[in-house]
Amino acid sequence: MATMESLIGLVNRIQRACTALGDYGGGNNALSSLWEALPSVAVVGGQSSGKSSVLESIVGRDFLPRGSGIVTRRPLVLQLHKTEHGTYEYAEFLHLTNKRFTNFSLVRKEIQDETDRITGKNKQISPVPIHLSIFSPNVVDLTLIDLPGLTKVAVEGQPETIAEDIESMVRSYVAKPNCLILAISPANQDIATSDAIKLAKEVDPTGDRTFGVLTKLDLMDKGTNALDVIEGRSYMMQYPWVGIVNRSQADINKNVEMMVARRKEREYFETSPHYGHLANKMGSEYLAKMLSKLLESVIRARIPNIIALINRSIEELERELDQLGRPIAIDAGAKLYNILGMCRAFEKIFKEHLDGGRPGGARIYGIFDYQLPGAIRKLPFDRHLSLESVKRIVSQSDGYQPHLIAPEMGYRRLIEGSLYLFRGPAEASVNAVHSVLKELVRKSIAETEELKRFPSLQTELAAAANSSLEKFREESMKSVLRLVDMEASYLTVDFFRKLHEMDTQGSQNTSLSSPTTVEQNGERQFRTIASNVAGYIKMVADTLANTIPKAVVHCQVRQAKLALLNYFYTQMSQRQGKHLGQLLDENPALMERRLQCAKRLELYKNARDEIDAAVWLG
């Protein structure tokens, strides 16, 4: 397995990549978090407990912002890289790649500026970490996360909820099972009041991953010492407590060098009557080495889980990318190819609706089987052929000369008037089929998976299809009305010949029946006319009930199947790449999702390669 440097360095590299791609754990990503699986050391403590001093002492440099109230307002991921003895020290920020800081007071300023860039000057906090790498021969390979101090009260400019906000941010780090907790408590306060220990007890009740550090031993009241805590009698932890003596505020004000401070700290423990026997296990240098060894062993133990998470995430991300579809190619030819491919996918679904593979087409045939016959049956022929109406129309048609035999003109007027009524059902059939076809276009677009990514193409495709359907409808309307008009333009003579024969026969029988008055004769003749016309209309109705569907299917349904997008295809083939690209503008949220998935997939694949390489380095 890899050496300590390569494993911690490996995790450092993966952590930096995670943050760069927006994965800094905390569950605020819809995507799984690799960060959360990476072991890290979170530095937790109450305000002014000495966190920053411990960090600076471990690094051996003055580089953290200081001040009253809350200074640390964003997590600072501090990645320490041990370099060859004698090499110069420098720092780099993830957000300022290729810029090396050798002046560490500028590092402090950059931390302040970068903090303000996200949180603004109003002392808010933010969970977005700042990544700072320090390369120095005076450090060990180690990653520490400096978190805002667990504060008690808001100061000027901070929201009342600042204490809860900080605690929930700190919790989002320390609650992770892969996170080691460096709990900083000042020795000059009762350990029972330590904010850090209280929180650690909650998230790590067995103390498996809590590391106790006691600062400010030099500030304890004369005649007192912290041996009860340090030797585990006050609060037993899995790992032994480490005592620290950092620079006092006076030392800081005097700019006492960190290296000098480290030496003073060593001397403090070596000469201490209380801690002399523990001197080799006290102080910030020992703490750093021990933390580094502990972090390396935790990483080593977690590598299999990390690899499993990475492989699982790669599969999930590749599956999602397949669903989201790959980015469309740049050149016009590829764009046109993609567009035509999606149009054909749409047409296939549309035809399946019409031909029975999908449910839509049955509605069209329902129009011919139920709606059209029903509409014809409801036509007001009774009213049009009432005795009164027949009398009126026949008389009007005769003019001053009553008809001699059969009221030819009367018949024509009655039939024409009746036939005109068929226009309604004929038009209604055309419009009903048009509505169904439009609805099938809408449904088919919605059912075409490939189109989901391209709202503009969907809109353009729907407009083109509906425009074609409109043309087909106009054509169909002309055809069906022509069918109705044809019935009026030439009456079927045979029908009336047969009627005449039946009438002649009927009148012979009638002469034998009881005598009637002129009035009754006249009425009977009008009833006969009405009945004859009704019979003719029935014959026409039966004919139209068959011919109208034929015309509608021919002009609308068949055309929709054969030529719905012909005009659209012609337009597309004449469009330039730019216009084609406009059709392929994807839903921005979907593009963003694909981008995030692609970046996260790249991160996981790189991490897998890094881990494979580290494991091979052995």
Ligand X SMILES: Nc1nc2c(ncn2[C@@H]2O[C@H](COP(=O)(O)OP(=O)(O)OP(=O)(O)O)[C@@H](O)[C@H]2O)c(=O)[nH]1
Closest CA to 328 of 314, 340, 344, 312: 340
Q: Could you give the angle at which helices 423-447 and 408-421 cross, rounded to 10 degrees?
A: 20
154 binds ligand X (CB under 6 A): no
**Site size with ligand X, rule: CB under 6 A:** 23
Q: In sequence order, which residues have a C-beta less than 8 Å from that of residue 106 and are 6 or more positions away?
A: none
| Residue 280: CB minimum distance to ligand X, A | 19
Interacting positions 553-612 with ligand X (CB under 6 A):
none
| Residue 151: CB minimum distance to ligand X, A | 7
Name the residue type at position 513. Answer: S
Distance CA 53, CA 66 (A): 10
Q: In sequence order, which residues have a C-beta less than 8 Å from that of residue 119 and are 6 or more positions away?
A: 73, 74, 125, 126
| Residue 304: CB minimum distance to ligand X, A | 36
| Residue 47: CB minimum distance to ligand X, A | 4
- With contacts defined by CB under 6 A, name the span among 20-28, 212-220, 401-409, 468-476 that binds ligand X: 212-220
**8-state DSSP, 184:** E
Q: Is 172 helix (H, G, I), strand (E, B) or coil?
A: helix
- With contacts defined by CB under 6 A, name the span among 64-72, 104-112, 341-349, 459-467 that binds ligand X: 64-72
- With contacts defined by CB under 6 A, name the span among 202-210, 238-246, 344-352, 423-431 that binds ligand X: 238-246
53 binds ligand X (CB under 6 A): yes
| Residue 253: CB minimum distance to ligand X, A | 9
The binder of ligand X chosen from 25, 39, 129, 149 (CB under 6 A)? 149
Is the Cβ of residue 269 or residue 604 nearer to ligand X in the bound state? 269
168 binds ligand X (CB under 6 A): no
CB count within 10 Å of CB 130 equals 23
Is the Cβ of residue 69 or residue 373 nearer to ligand X in the bound state? 69
Q: Give strand pairing partners of 145.
A: 42, 77
Measure CA 91 to chain center: 38
19 binds ligand X (CB under 6 A): no
Q: Give strand pairing partners of 91.
A: 101, 134
249 binds ligand X (CB under 6 A): yes
**What are φ and ψ of residue 82, in 5° steps?**
-75, 130
Residue 499 tokens read as 């009627």
Is residue 140 within 8 Å of residue 289, measured between CB atoms? yes
The binder of ligand X chosen from 29, 189, 248, 456 (CB under 6 A)? 248
Residue 2 tokens read as 């890899």
Distance CA 210, CA 202 (A): 11
The binder of ligand X chosen from 66, 100, 117, 478 (CB under 6 A)? 66
Is the Cβ of residue 71 or residue 555 nearer to ligand X in the bound state? 71
| Residue 220: CB minimum distance to ligand X, A | 10
The β-bridge relationship of strands 40-45 and 76-82 is unpaired
- With contacts defined by CB under 6 A, name the span among 25-33, 97-105, 199-207, 244-252 that binds ligand X: 244-252
Distance CA 219, CA 217 (A): 5
Which residue sits closest to ligand X, CB atoms considered? Answer: 149
Query: Largest Cα–Cα distance in the chain?
Result: 151
CA distances to 5, 87, 391 from 421, rounded to whole Å, are 93, 102, 19
- With contacts defined by CB under 6 A, name the span among 201-209, 214-222, 303-311, 381-389 that binds ligand X: 214-222
40 binds ligand X (CB under 6 A): no
247 binds ligand X (CB under 6 A): yes
Q: Give strand pairing partners of 134.
A: 80, 91
Q: Is 130 helix (H, G, I), strand (E, B) or coil?
A: strand
Distance CA 415, CA 213 (A): 107
Closest CA to 174 of 54, 49, 43, 293: 43
Is residue 293 within 8 Å of residue 4, measured between CB atoms? yes
CA distances to 244, 254, 256 from 260, rounded to whole Å, are 15, 12, 7
Is the Cβ of residue 97 or residue 253 nearer to ligand X in the bound state? 253
**8-state DSSP, 361:** G
193 binds ligand X (CB under 6 A): no
Is residue 548 within 8 Å of residue 480, measured between CB atoms? yes
170 binds ligand X (CB under 6 A): no
292 binds ligand X (CB under 6 A): no
219 binds ligand X (CB under 6 A): yes
The binder of ligand X chosen from 172, 246, 284, 532 (CB under 6 A)? 246
Is the Cβ of residue 67 or residue 273 nearer to ligand X in the bound state? 67
The binder of ligand X chosen from 6, 12, 52, 448 (CB under 6 A)? 52
14 binds ligand X (CB under 6 A): no
Distance CA 331, CA 475 (A): 39
Is residue 78 within 8 Å of residue 51, measured between CB atoms? no
Site string for ligand X, 68-87 (x = CB under 6 A): ---xx---------------
Interacting positions 459-498 with ligand X (CB under 6 A):
none
The binder of ligand X chosen from 44, 78, 174, 245 (CB under 6 A)? 245
| Residue 462: CB minimum distance to ligand X, A | 60
- With contacts defined by CB under 6 A, name the span among 79-87, 198-206, 246-254, 601-609 that binds ligand X: 246-254
| Residue 219: CB minimum distance to ligand X, A | 5
| Residue 166: CB minimum distance to ligand X, A | 10
47 binds ligand X (CB under 6 A): yes
Contacting positions for ligand X (CB under 6 A) = 45, 47-53, 66, 71-72, 149, 215-216, 218-219, 244-249, 252
